[in-house]
Each structure stands twice: as structure tokens, then as C-alpha cells.
Amino acid sequence: MAFATRMYREAVVWRKRIDHALDRYVRKSLYTLDPDVLCSLRIGAVQLLVLGTPAHAAVSATVEAHSSRKTRGLVNAVLRKIAVHTEEKLPLHIMYSHPEELVNRWMKRYGGSVAQRLLEWNNQPPPLGGYAFGDIPAGTEKGEFLERYRVMGRHGAFQPPDNFYIQDESAAIVGQGMAELPGVTVLEIGAAPGGKTAHLSGTGFVISVDRKRKRMRRWIANRDRMRWEDCFPVAADCSSLSFSMKFDKVIVDAPCTNTGVYRRRFDARWNWSVAMEEELVQIQRKMLVDSAKSVKPGGVLVYSTCSIEPAENSGIVQFFEERNLAFERIPFPAPEALVTGEGFLSVFPPKAGIDGLFAASWKYRG
């Protein structure tokens, strides 16, 4: 089961590189093939090109598992050619299997060598880890920055112990920073499945809002397991909500392109486009401006994403501050090495060794 899961992950991650190789040996367009045929070819090719499975095992097992006897000959013939295939020097976007326009953007921003490190990072399987709110599990190792963040090996099925929340260390850093900011009445927007709520629980009265009901069901399951007795779920679009009270702390965990967490959300890269980013920027602007209306005078506002794109991070901050002069930016509480001179939490994965995230915070002087 573990190997099947790994094959699926790698077939998704390396799709562009795999398809580039397959295209040499399939006479017609890959995308006109029967979906079962294309799936079998990708599963076989990822074993041969990425996982290093012995050729005889990868080819025979894939052909045997292929559902249609009519097309087994095609699958067998193509995979045998892939088994002796020699890859030429490939452009980075094909070699590391990312959208071409996004890779070109990163190369321009970071330079070729740093962009390549980011691509390599994105394709690595992430370690299994989480934040220990109770006893630290035996046999675990400390994270990069937080003592209570623990990393463990992947050995079959894992059942998290009581008061242990599975998440990347960067998410734990953001959640812990949000909890450290002052405020006993909290409005948390974009709350599901509960990674930030886990840190906010115990700090006061928390209303946790998310517009996706399916994700809120996961939030409720986590609440029941972790016993968040002071946190209350609301499944709704935040723009449709109207509260009679103002809050000490309002948190906006905005939807984003996920470019900081491609290692963990390995299929998200295939959703990326310039149009998608532009649409999300408009949503992020509106969410932050609308949410700021719920902050009481003297209260705190927080904005966070799991993107590394300036348009979704510093660009949103600039847009907001130009129109909301009563909000004074304050440093986000986080490890010093991750906080910029502007007071932002800004995590670049290859440098920090954890997933990419961004957070900014303000105090309302109204």
C-alpha cells in the first residue's frame, strides 16, 4: 500500500517529465489515449525514470495490472522502450515537472541555481511531523525551529497521539505566532481543517469560519479529537457574515496559489496559472479589507498565505495599507531568522528547510 501511494504521488509530481519521455514512443497524442492506458504508462514510466525500480519488475507488474488485454501490447512495447530510454538535457520546467511560465518567473526572480533548488525541494516527499500540545512522543526528533514540533519516520499507518496535530513546521510557526498576539475574542477566517485553530484553542473565545462544508467537517473531527472546547465552527462565506460584536483579533488565512507548499500539496502545481493568481489576488484583497471591519479599536489583524508570490503577500499588504491608514503594522511573532525587516514572516523553503508561508499583522488604532 505504501509503495502504491508513493507511485501515485510521484506520477503526479513528475507528470510533465514522464509525458515528455512517453511522447517519443507513442505515435499519437498522449491525451487522445484511453485514460487507463495513459495511467498505466505513467505508473510504469515513473517507476523506471524516477523510482529506480528494476526494469523487468516495473514493466511486467504494470502490464499485468493493466485492465484491458487489448492494449497490454501497447503498454508493454512503450514501457520496454522507456526502460532503455536515455534522457537528454531537459529545460528545468520539464526536468522538474512544473508549469513553464511559473519556472521562468522564478528563474528571473531568484536566479537559475536558486530556482533549481526550489524545484528540487518541491519534488521531495515531505517528512511526517506535527506539533505536540501534550506529551512529546517518544522516538521523535525536534524540528528546525520549534522544540515542540516533532518529526517522525514513516513506518506504515500512523495514529497521532492525543494532543498531537499533524502539520508542517511552518504552519505550526504561523499558528503559534497567531496565538501569541494579544486578544481573547478571536475571529478566524479560512479556519479548516484546523491547523491554526489548534494553536488558538485555549487563548480565548474563537469563532472559526470556513466556506467549505467538507473542510469544516474535518475541522469538527479535529476539534473532537483535540478537545477544542472554546472554539466554535461556522460554515459560511465570510463576506456574507455580519457580527454584532467586534473582535480583539481577526485572522485571515486566505486562499492562495499554494506555491509555498508544492512539496506537500503535490498536485497544486497543475492548477497554477497567471489568471488563477490574478483572480485570487482580488479575493485576497476583498477578504482582508472586509475582515478588517470586524477588528475592535486596539485589536489585531493578521493576514497569512502559503504562497511565496509577492503579488499575494507584500502586494496585498501594500494594497491594504494604502487604504486603511488606521492599521499600524507590527512584527509578526516568529523565530527571528524568518522575520523580515518589514516585520513579515516570510519563509522560503530551500533556505529555511520548511514549507513556504507568509504572515503580516497590524494593530488597529481606530
In the chain, where are the structural domains located? 2-83, 96-123, 168-364
Query: Residue 260: which of 330, 150, 163, 359 has the closest Cα?
Result: 359
For the chain, give the longest Cα–Cα distance.
72
Residue 259 confidence (pLDDT)? 98
Q: Rounded to an integer, what distance in angstroms lies between the CA atom of residue 45 and that of residue 280?
A: 35
Instruction: Report pTM.
Output: 0.95
Q: Give, in degrees to the nearest 5, the angle at Cα 217 between 214 and 223.
A: 150
Q: Under a CB-based contact definition with an 8 Å cutoff, are residues 166 and 129 in contact? A: yes
Residue 158 confidence (pLDDT)? 67
pLDDT tens string 56-73: 999 999 999 887 878 999
In the predicted model, residues of the chain with pLDDT beneath 50 are: none
Residue 9 confidence (pLDDT)? 96
Residue 242 confidence (pLDDT)? 79
Architecture of the domain whose range is 168-364: 3-Layer(aba) Sandwich (3.40)
Q: Rounded to an integer, what distance in angstroms lies between the CA atom of residue 112 and that of residue 120?
A: 12
Q: Rounded to an integer, what distance in angstroms lies between the CA atom of residue 45 and that of residue 16?
A: 12
CA-CA distances (angstroms) from residue 124 to 1, 18, 118?
A: 19, 16, 10
Q: Rounded to an integer, what distance in angstroms lies between the CA atom of residue 268 and that of residue 284?
A: 18
Q: Beta strands 231-235 and 149-152: pairing type?
A: unpaired
Q: Under a CB-based contact definition with an 8 Å cutoff, are residues 362 and 183 in contact? A: no
Residue 156 confidence (pLDDT)? 61
Residue 1 confidence (pLDDT)? 54
Query: Residue 332: which of 172, 178, 144 has the closest Cα?
Result: 178
